[in-house]
Amino acid sequence: MLEKKENLVFRFFPRNYLLRNPLTGGLVMGFFLFAFALLYRPLGAHAGLYFGYELTMAFYAMAAGLSSWLGIKGLSRIALLSDPQSWNLLKELVSILCVLIVVGMGLYFAGFLLEESANRFNISTFADSVVRSMLAGIIPFLVFTLFGIIPVRGEDYISQGMPEESPEKEQPVHISSQLKKEELSFYPSEFIYAESDSNYVVFYLQREGKLRKEIIRNSITNIESQLSSIGWIMRVHRAYIINMKRVKAKKGNMLGYRLKLEGAEAEIPVSRNKTALFKEEFARLNRF
């Protein structure tokens, strides 16, 4: 049990979306704290010296959003907390803590502009600002962190040999074509990969133990959109979409991979701009 907890803390999983996107992180933090202040009205929150309650909270929310943006940007300057390829739960929690401390400091100094400053310059007021920002601000961060943790934990069973879902239990996928009378249907577990070929997309499927090729007139981008609801199907190259559960070998480095898929002979390239996302998604699926 202890070993499983240690694995969860130190194993790789995708970095929190808010920590990867400073601007989005700042906006989410600002909007969340503003909504929280209006709906919950935390104890001790009050109108400022110059504005009513709502406008005061709006300015505090802006300060929180700006501070969050600065905190997340600052993490990119710290080598230990900026490498997405060695990310784990411990680094995630430390990063969130650092950002929330910066947010607390931002709210503390914003108070000098919004409230009477004579009684604010003390440790207790500073600590109160930091603690309050942590209690409320941690919520949006944890929500996005859970999106990374839950799939990792759920896939533990796959690595222990849990069989893939049989076609009888799956819902078939229906792929539309630019030709009105043309359509392709298959079960997700049958899909190996799809390859763009001029104005067509070639699907490679495994049916009854044999490799089947099906051709649809459509763009690879449109096919990617139609398959977007399946979490383990990914576009890894401008010309290829793959079933990540079928990857059995990879070679290369962060400049680009080449993949071998179960049921197919061809090697599938991974674009250089897709390698980081590819690695994150495979860590999420617990395949490597």
Please give the pLDDT value at position 149: 61
Please give the pLDDT value at position 80: 79
Residues 6+ apart with CB under 8 A from 26: 65, 66, 68, 69, 72
Please give the pLDDT value at position 98: 94
With respect to residue 131, please indicate whether it lies within any of the assigned structural domains.
yes
Same domain, yes or no: 230 and 138:
no
Same domain, yes or no: 91 and 63:
yes
pTM attached to this predicted model? 0.53
With respect to residue 145, please indicate whether it lies within any of the assigned structural domains.
yes
What is the C-alpha R_g of the chain?
24
With respect to residue 135, please indicate whether it lies within any of the assigned structural domains.
yes
Same domain, yes or no: 22 and 146:
yes
Same domain, yes or no: 54 and 99:
yes
Domain ends where: 154, 187, 203? 154
Same domain, yes or no: 177 and 142:
no
Same domain, yes or no: 174 and 141:
no
Same domain, yes or no: 116 and 198:
no
Same domain, yes or no: 81 and 103:
yes
With respect to residue 110, please indicate whether it lies within any of the assigned structural domains.
yes
Please give the pLDDT value at position 168: 55
What are phi and psi for residue 84, nearest 5 degrees? Answer: -70, -15
Same domain, yes or no: 244 and 171:
yes
Please give the pLDDT value at position 217: 92
Q: How many domains does the chain have?
A: 2
Domain ends where: 154, 175, 195? 154
With respect to residue 144, please indicate whether it lies within any of the assigned structural domains.
yes
Please give the pLDDT value at position 231: 86
Sign of the torsion angle spanned by Cα atoms 19, 21, 22, 23: negative
With respect to residue 259, please indicate whether it lies within any of the assigned structural domains.
yes
| Residue-range definition of the domain harbouring residue 74 | 2-154
With respect to residue 161, please indicate whether it lies within any of the assigned structural domains.
no
What are phi and psi for residue 153, nearest 5 degrees? Answer: -70, -40
Please give the pLDDT value at position 106: 92
Q: What is the CATH number of the domain that holds 273?
A: 2.40.50.1020
Q: Is 209 left (phi over 0), alpha (psi -120 to 50) or beta?
A: left
Asked if residues 148 and 14 have their Cβ atoms less than 8 Å apart, the reply is: yes
- Helix then strand then coil, % of the chain, to nearest 5: 55, 20, 25
With respect to residue 12, please indicate whether it lies within any of the assigned structural domains.
yes
Q: Mean pLDDT in runs of 10 for the chain (288 residues)?
A: 51 77 93 90 76 89 94 87 73 92 92 80 87 91 78 38 52 85 88 93 90 92 92 92 89 72 88 85 68
